[in-house]
Structure formats: C-alpha cells, structure tokens
Amino acid sequence: MNPYRKILSLSALAAAITISPTATAFSTAFDRSEGYIASALDQSKQTSAAYFNEAPFAGGLYLPKGGKPELGTLRRDPKATGTTAYYKIGTGSALSNGSTYSVSLDFTFEGMPEGIPSIDAFMGSVGFSTSSTSNKHAIYAGIQRSASGTNSAAGVYQFFILGGGYAQSKGGVSYAAVGDDLLDDNDLTDNLRMILSLTKSTSPGKFEAVAQLINLESAITVATISTTLTESVAYQSELFGYLRSGSINEVGNFDLFNVTAFSFNSKVSAP
C-alpha cells in the first residue's frame, strides 16, 4: 500500500469552474494554491475556496494544520459519525435527453479486518442530490463491507449503485484489488477512484448509469457497473455533486477516509 498522493491525475486538478445555463465543470485537488486553508471544508470556513456545503455540520471533513504547505488531502474527523460535502453549484434541469452528468472521487481509506462484520460498514461514496445541503432523491456509487448477502464473504468489499434502483458488482471486490492487506487492519488502501456517470434516457425519468472503481496505482479498473435507474424528480431537477464518508469512527484515528480529488461535470447532448 502506498499512502501518498495518487499516481494518475484528473484532467484538470487545479480548481477550475466553467458554468453556463446548461453545463458545469469543476475539479479540485484541495491544494493551497486553489485558495484552501487548513480548516473545515465548509464554505463558511473556506472563504477563498467556498465550493462546498458540509452536512450535518462544518468540520466533519477538514484540511489539517501542520501538513505540507500545499495541503491536498482532505481528512475526516475521527469523531464524526459520517459527513457529506455538497458542491454548491447545481446543473441540469434544462438538459435534454442524452446529456450526461459525472462525478469522481480520488481517495484512500483504512482497511477493515477480513472477517464478515456484524453490521454493514459503509466506507464512502460519490453521487448526486437534488439539494446542495442534504441528500434528496440521491443517486450514488459507494463501497462498503457487507454483513449479509452475496458480497458478504471474508476479504471482499461491496461496490454498488443506489438511488432510483440498485446494482452491485457481482462477486464483490477483493481486498487485494484495492490494495488492502489482509494481515494489517490499520493499513491504507491503494489510491482509488470512484466515478459515477448518469445519462438522461429518452424515456422520461430514467438514467443510464455507469459506475467504475479504479485502482490508480495499478491502473486497473477493478469493477464496473452498468444499469438503468428511475428517478423522476432527479431527472427534471438541478443535480448537485457530492462526496460522503462513512460512519465508522475511532478516537484519534485520522486516516479513516482521505480524499485527494473531486470533480463534477455535465455535458450537453450533441444536436
């Protein structure tokens, strides 16, 4: 496992925003050069990089003090029982069928013991909401350890899409595929990327969804899910991209969930 920055980068990791009535493009690597400071991610604290609303409170996700001058790694407060950051600019209510929305997240997390947990252990997700401050009509891709079902075997993570339907990667994702050492319960996974894209179907209320989980260090796509989702409200609403960490907490453990890049884009369909 390599706890350092990702090997592959997004196409534009300096914070960049392009906004029109029909499309949005945003990406960030949480660097000081983008205006971030060592503080909570919420726009009330990041006044020079006021891109995100945190819920349920500011500070669940933060850029730590005393790190490298460039910052660049978003961490989760180990006392927080799950936290979400919503990119505050939405897009899409006017987009026609065939248009595509996408979100991506580069991250690591502290691996779980290989045994089957007593309850589902949610690690993190990336997705869309019709609200910039809460999960409403959400559609997302996520990774977790499952306590039951077809992907509850020892040494297997569950990669899935939820919202307007459900689909998962058959057979799950092995610990080895994400760089989680079976013999070390405190190691970090390899640098991973989750991508979720939604394309508006010609059938009203439906999206064609594709989710991918990529190991950036091995440059291998370890899981891909394709499915059709039905979410009528989301189909006709503005969508806001968001990232979320799980609810696992451990006092003093600042490596539970670490984010190094996020992007949110929409693309208008060709005439």
Average pLDDT over residues 229-237: 96
| CA distance readout (Å), 230 to 74, 131, 195, 200, 217 | 33, 18, 19, 10, 34
Residue 12 has pLDDT above 60, yes or no: no
The pLDDT-based confidence of 20 (bands split at 50, 70, 90) is very low
270 or 121, which is more confident? 121
Q: Which pLDDT does position 245 carry in this prediction?
A: 93
Query: What sections of the chain are H helices per DSSP?
Result: 175-178, 232-235
Q: Which pLDDT does position 53 carry in this prediction?
A: 98
152 or 214, which is more confident? 214
Average pLDDT over residues 2-23: 43
C-alpha to C-alpha distance for 261 and 252, rounded to whole angstroms? 24
The pLDDT-based confidence of 3 (bands split at 50, 70, 90) is very low
Q: What burial class does residue 5 get, using C-beta atoms within 10 Å of its C-beta: 0-12 exposed, 13-18 middle, 19+ buried? A: middle
Average pLDDT, the chain: 86
Residue 57 has pLDDT above 90, yes or no: no
Per-residue pLDDT tens over the stretch 249-268: 665 566 789 999 999 999 88
Which residue ranges form the domains of the chain, and what is each CATH number?
A: 16-267 (2.60.120.200)
96 or 44, which is more confident? 44
Q: Which pLDDT does position 142 carry in this prediction?
A: 97
Residue 17 has pLDDT above 80, yes or no: no
Residue 45 has pLDDT above 50, yes or no: yes
φ/ψ of residue 235, rounded to 5? -60, -35
The structure's pTM equals: 0.88
Residue 60 has pLDDT above 70, yes or no: yes
φ/ψ of residue 229, rounded to 5? -115, 150
Q: Which pLDDT does position 5 carry in this prediction?
A: 38
Q: How far is CA 87 from the centre of its chain?
A: 12
Average pLDDT over residues 98-115: 91
Average pLDDT over residues 123-145: 96
Per-residue pLDDT tens over the stretch 192-219: 999 999 999 999 999 999 999 999 999 9
Q: Which residues of 65-93 are buried (b: 16+ CB within 10 A; e: fewer)?
A: eeeeeebbbbbbbeebebbbbbbeebbbe
**C-beta neighbour count of 48 within 10 angstroms:** 9
Taking Cα atoms as reference points, which of 31, 113, 107, 43 lies closest to residue 75? Answer: 107
